[in-house]
Amino acid sequence: MLHNKIVILFVVCLGLPLFAESLDSRDALYQQMEKLLSEVSPEATVSFVLRDVQTGKILFEKNGNKYVIPASTLKLVTSWVALDKLGPDKRLETRLGYSGKISENILLGNLIITGGADPSFCSNQFGKEYTSDRIFSSWLAHLKKIGIDSVQGCVIGDGTLYKGFSPNPYILWEDVGNYYSAVTSGLCFSDNRYSLFFKGHVKPGIPITLLSTSPEFIGISHFENHLVTGPSSGGDSVYIYGSFLSRQRALYGWYGAGKEKFSVKGALPFPSWTCAMEFRKYLKLHNISFGGNSAGACAQYSTTPGPYPFLPENNSSITPLTSHQSPPLRDLIKHINYTSDNGYTEQLLALLAIQAGQKGGYRDGIIVIEDYLKNISPVLETVRIKDGCGLSRLNWISGEQITLLLAYAAQHPNFPDFRSTLLSPIKEGRGGGRFEPYYHQFKNLKVKLLAKTGSMSGVQALAGFLKTEKGKELSFFYVWNNTQEPSSSFHKSCSNLLRLANDNSIF
């Protein structure tokens, strides 16, 4: 018995120096991280959280329970919930059909495009098979195959899958008309954006001339142009102002002097109408004529667009003809997390509402996300969400909350698909730019860093996963609020913190 006690005492004493060393290492690490965080401008609100995804334990936190504006890192929340609830392989279908009957190669009725909320429909972001030329060419071939050479009616764009659409009051007025605030629609077209082409000038202070728009049918009848050239060192500071359902837009701001021609993008007010009109235009260019009363109807249609014009009274009377499938959802989400596309993210938010049996408004989608979060942990009940993409400055989330959700996702069967949608700041930094610090910190290490950025005026953020050289998976969130520091300073600070997390033995 005495011998056993001596052995136990020896083992305990042997472990004390290691335990003390571990405590010393932890204290030293925390001091190093605190020092780095103290170097941030004092006026900024700073939050940093590291969490072990296997145990769920927070390994380090600074202001981890403070609510902050997450900017586009909120897309991680929306995209994960959508991937989990809708499935990574889900595809969205856009259908072409017709009403009436075909007689002597004439369609005595309308062509109807019924949207399935595919944000990539007629987009140039996913390869040739998803562009308007390829889709419209395929649809033209189907019309020819069943013998349609002429249409007596109209082309109708049905975007009513989202019956609950309404403008989001939590988005800044200056953002509403611009491309990064594209509206949601049951039927999308070309990322729900249009382009404006301008003639610039060499000297600052000279009025800028609007030359043209693309596509042809954008649903806006008048642009009130107040743009002037700005400093030669300046870039794009053009804002497009216009209210929901208005066909008027006002252009304010400036574009840097020295560029003879340039373009900016805006948000299509009526994507379903634009889609219908552009398809009609394509058909006419390829010898499908429109006759009878359709000339007058489509002229009226082209000057008085609305969100749901000229819908058939009974959708059951539509004869299906062909359809187009979107890329799988994982590819749409990868586009979101790589390019931070707000419009695509809001489409996912509306899809979540539709899947839950709601009308498709942003409020319905937010409720779906809130319910999902509550079912994971009571800690997530107080997340405040006002949109799906992070554009609203009234979104609030803490570092403890977002790292908890990411840790939860990491244990889920769908996680490999979600992981594949995140960018690698290490790889992206190889060519320089804002991610260059991550490349220099980790280029010679066997480290995996996958993340989503977030930035807006006064906000810089990064959230995601760090797999250390020792194989430990960490979720992290780092954010600066109320700062005027450039993004390069933020990413340098973040890369230093993550390098410490990788190098320290206690992690």
pLDDT tens for residues 213-256? 999 999 999 999 999 999 887 788 999 999 877 899 999 999 99
> Which ranges of the chain have pLDDT less than 70?
1-25, 164-165, 292-316, 505-507
**CATH value at residue 287:** 3.50.80.20
How many Cα atoms sit within 13 Å of 455 on the Cβ side? 12
Q: How big, in percent rounded to 5, are the helix, strand and coil portions of the chain?
A: 40, 25, 35
At 124, give phi and psi (nearest 5°): -95, 10
User: Residue 449 is encoded by which pair of tokens?
Assistant: 């860093």
10 Å Cβ neighbour count for 182? 25
Same domain, 350 and 281: no
Q: How many residues does the chain have?
A: 507
The residue out of 245, 267, 289 marking a domain boundary is 267
Residue 429 inside a domain? The answer is: yes
Same domain, 336 and 433: yes
Predicted pLDDT of residue 504: 80
Same domain, 158 and 279: yes
Same domain, 130 and 110: yes
Whether 328 contacts 89, CB under 8 Å: yes
pLDDT tens for residues 366-410? 999 999 999 999 999 999 999 999 999 999 999 999 999 999 999
Predicted pLDDT of residue 304: 43
Same domain, 361 and 493: yes
Same domain, 338 and 468: yes
Same domain, 250 and 216: yes
**CATH value at residue 62:** 3.40.710.10
Residue 49 inside a domain? The answer is: yes
Residue 23 inside a domain? The answer is: no
Alpha-carbon torsion (161, 167, 169, 173), positive or negative: positive
Same domain, 403 and 370: yes
The tally of domains found in the chain comes to 3
Predicted pLDDT of residue 30: 87
Predicted pLDDT of residue 258: 87
Question: Domain range for residue 195?
Answer: 173-267
Residue 2 inside a domain? The answer is: no
User: Residue 185 is encoded by which pair of tokens?
Assistant: 């629609």
Q: How far apart, in whole angstroms, are the C-alpha atoms of residue 166 and residue 287? A: 38
Predicted pLDDT of residue 432: 81
Predicted pLDDT of residue 164: 65
Same domain, 253 and 374: no
Same domain, 155 and 58: no
Predicted pLDDT of residue 58: 96
Same domain, 364 and 293: no
Same domain, 298 and 345: no
